[in-house]
Copies of this chain bind each other. A is one copy, B any other.
């Protein structure tokens, strides 16, 4: 018996929607969440695909996240959209606010979307790729939980604080990246711990603030940012931009609010959109060519553009109209369905 099971693409969506629906998410939330679960699974981003349904369901079962909250979208300034998720998962608020963000960016040249009071479990590349699909450049940031020490520090304070960016390429998959500003993801450290393998140097400190390669000591201590003091500075910027700037929680506040529960973190998110047409004075075609020469120069010297692997998987899985997931995951997801 194979360890994998093959699902058609429509089965992936149906599985996600039925798990969510049977656990109390209404049709709007189940659809908005499944859009993103599906998109990640299509790109073989397993950690942010169907696997994340456990976290979604945990968030609603704990009684803290709402599966039926209607987000409040407001025009909060000429170039600002506010989306109050009203304690729902972020994705319905994001989906509902995105058309106004795109409109404002095209009207003003640049615009910001602040998503507030949301539970967040998803990768950031889907939202910045919604912007690049609309011909805009996009940037997104958010905090998480205080697992990461600042450079020179001894204790967790910063989140894994992801940063994502996407640039539209006419007729091609966009240039996109989406990375944690921590050296490792939290889940990676857990995998080392389970396997009993030592961590690489420079990834974590123990509870005394000393460098460690012991994954268990790291789980009780703190992770480090990528890139030393520069990565730490960026992570602090993300705390500020997606926290106090938009009237929402820092990673430390988010972790305190969660009280150790395994649900999705609760905080805000900021998404920025830039209109190449207005910012280039209407010279989009010439500047597309200039960007394409830059990308060609990257590839020509044997380097890779970020997201190429994920984008290739999306094309491959779409063409064959099916994909594989581990059988154990499939069976666990069936058990997660109620009724």
Contacts and interface: CB of A to CB of B under 8 A. Distances in A.
Interface of A: 76-80, 82, 107-112, 114, 137, 149-155, 157, 163, 165, 167, 175, 177, 179, 181, 209, 226-234, 236-237, 239-241, 243-247, 250, 252-253, 272, 274-276, 278-281, 283, 286-288, 290-291, 293-294, 297-298, 301-306
A114 B279 contact: yes
Given A80-B279, A137-B240, A177-B233, A150 B303 contact: yes
B281 A229 contact: no
Given A247-B286, A279-B246, A109 B78 contact: yes
A148 B329 CA distance: 43
Copies of this polypeptide in the complex: 2
Contacts of A246: 279-280
Contact of A244 (B177, B229, B290, B298): B290
B241 A274 contact: yes
A240 B111 CA distance: 18
Contact of A290 (B165, B175, B250, B283): B250
Contacts of A305: 236
A1 to B, nearest CB: 38
